[in-house]
């Protein structure tokens, strides 16, 4: 089963189209506001369905829900590969494709991790959970890096974006078949059938409102929501347009929309950039425990990471003021790599700190609140930031996220 879990991590991250989605939409003539609206809609669908999909996974079966997730991904990616039907407005067509893809994302979140933990418990290997989760995360990061490089090479050779979507859809269908090959006892019934001895439980442990009023809890959550949402906004709406502007200005077109266009050598650099970023992300995650040990407490580490990230956002904003200068583009890409490193360095430390502050019966609930709040914030921001980028330039995306990061920093005076 461990081999299949690793294979799942590979297939889940073989999204060859991801490094080029916003670039593809730009080359089709979409404005930043329209791109922000499309990506925000996908995130909104995921956020709205996150809790219902978790309920379905627990009561109908995690294996089935994951199969639906992969199938939804395949359908959504296929719609994006088709581009648009002649009698359907392109914007509506892409809303449909990304909406269905968002459904797949909602059905995916949390289910597979629950399956892995359930398997380890049933097999009497619960003590190996950290090692197994780390192993699958390594495969996940490695496959993301590989997908970026392969996608860049394919786009260079084929000069066709649709190939990236079709290939991603095929990988999703293989993922659907993989999870259906899992043993049926991993649907989740086993966990529900295991009855713990009756014990006296302090009702206060289940009072969510009381825990959120904990002076250490809600500032921690606010900082997390602000941090993760702003980094995601930069990676979703800033990075690809920034790359596109810089490469185009340097005479390195990406190509792929117009079959007669010059082959885009820039696509190779986009793929290399993905390899660079994901490799740094893996290094960051691997060094979380080491970073934690170097300081007296986790909050000190989180504070330093937050400060460094805010500085990185400021550097990105300055680089985007004149993306026609390739030297500034390189500075910006190096800074995005640093952001990816810091984000992956921070996340395990944050979860450990949250685990210490939260009441044990409500840990999953708190993590769900954190995830949904981030999703809603990203969904609300993307269209508005797209409008700002259309009117004043891409640098405004970095400037606004930087201001919001500073607002989040105010909560370090509490908790």
Domain positions in the chain: 1-194, 206-415
Q: Kindly compute the dihedral angle of the four CA atoms of residues 128, 134, 139, 142, in this order, to the nearest 10 degrees.
A: -160
The token pair that represents 221 in the structure block: 């959550």
Assigned CATH for 1-194:
1.20.1250.20
Please state, in angstroms and rounded to a whole number, the distance separating the CA atoms of residues 216 and 367.
Answer: 15
The token pair that represents 413 in the structure block: 């005076």
Q: Kindly compute the dihedral angle of the four CA atoms of residues 339, 343, 151, 265, in this order, to the nearest 10 degrees.
A: 0
pTM of structure: 0.82
Whether the domain at 1-194 and the domain at 206-415 fall into the same CATH topology = yes
CB-based burial, 88-119: b 16+ in 10 Å, e otherwise: eeeeebbbbbbbbbbbbbbbbbbbbebbbebb
What Rg value do the Cα atoms of the chain yield, rounded?
22
Instruction: Look at residue 203 in the predicted model and tell me its pLDDT.
Output: 45
In 52-145, which ranges are E strands?
none
CATH topology for the 206-415 domain:
Growth Hormone; Chain: A; (1.20.1250)
Instruction: Look at residue 89 in the predicted model and tell me its pLDDT.
Output: 81
Instruction: Look at residue 186 in the predicted model and tell me its pLDDT.
Output: 74
Q: At what angle do helices 363-392 and 326-357 cross, to 10 degrees?
A: 160
What are the angstrom distances between the C-alpha of 341 and each of 309, 345, 348? 10, 6, 12
Mean pLDDT per 10-residue section of the chain, whose length is 415 residues: 84 89 89 93 89 72 85 93 75 91 82 70 67 72 86 86 92 90 70 45 48 66 88 87 86 66 74 88 79 78 89 91 84 91 84 68 63 88 93 91 86 57
Instruction: Look at residue 40 in the predicted model and tell me its pLDDT.
Output: 93
């Amino acid at each position: 089963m461990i081999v299949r879990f690793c294979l799942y991590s590979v297939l889940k991250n073989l999204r060859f189209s991801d490094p080029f989605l916003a670039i593809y939409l730009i080359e089709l003539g979409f404005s930043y506001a329209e791109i922000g609206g499309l990506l925000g809609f996908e995130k909104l669908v995921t956020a709205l369905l996150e809790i219902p999909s978790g309920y379905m996974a627990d009561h109908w079966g995690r294996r089935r829900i994951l199969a639906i997730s992969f199938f939804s991904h395949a359908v959504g990616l296929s719609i994006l590969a088709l581009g648009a039907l002649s009698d359907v407005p392109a914007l509506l067509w892409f809303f449909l494709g990304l909406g269905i893809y968002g459904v797949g994302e909602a059905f995916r979140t949390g289910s597979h991790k629950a399956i892995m933990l359930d398997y380890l418990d049933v097999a009497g290997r619960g003590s190996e959970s950290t090692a197994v989760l780390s192993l699958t995360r390594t495969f996940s990061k490695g496959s993301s890096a590989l997908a970026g490089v392969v996608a860049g090479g394919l786009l260079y050779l084929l000069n066709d974006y649709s190939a990236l979507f079709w290939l991603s859809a095929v990988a999703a269908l293989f993922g659907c078949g993989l999870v259906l090959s899992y043993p049926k006892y991993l649907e989740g019934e086993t966990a529900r059938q295991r009855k713990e001895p009756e014990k006296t439980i302090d009702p206060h442990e289940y009072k969510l409102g009381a825990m959120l009023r904990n002076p250490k809890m809600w500032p921690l959550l606010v900082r997390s929501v602000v941090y993760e949402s702003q980094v995601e906004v930069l990676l979703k709406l800033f990075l690809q347009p920034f790359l596109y502007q810089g490469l185009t200005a340097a005479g390195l077109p990406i190509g792929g929309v117009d079959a007669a266009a010059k082959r885009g050598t820039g696509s190779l650099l986009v793929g290399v950039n993905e390899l660079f970023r994901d490799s740094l992300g893996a290094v960051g995650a691997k060094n979380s425990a080491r970073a934690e040990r170097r300081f007296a407490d986790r909050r000190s580490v989180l504070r330093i990471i937050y400060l460094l990230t805010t500085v990185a956002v400021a550097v990105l904003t300055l680089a985007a003021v004149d993306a026609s200068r390739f030297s500034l583009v390189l500075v910006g890409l190096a800074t995005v790599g640093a952001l990816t490193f810091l984000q992956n360095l921070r996340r395990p430390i944050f979860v450990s700190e949250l685990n210490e502050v939260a009441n044990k019966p409500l840990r999953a609930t708190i993590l769900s609140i954190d995830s949904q709040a981030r999703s809603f914030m990203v969904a609300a921001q993307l269209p508005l930031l797209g409008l700002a980028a259309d009117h004043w330039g891409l640098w405004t995306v970095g400037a606004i996220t930087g201001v919001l990061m500073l607002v989040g920093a105010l909560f370090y005076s509490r908790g």
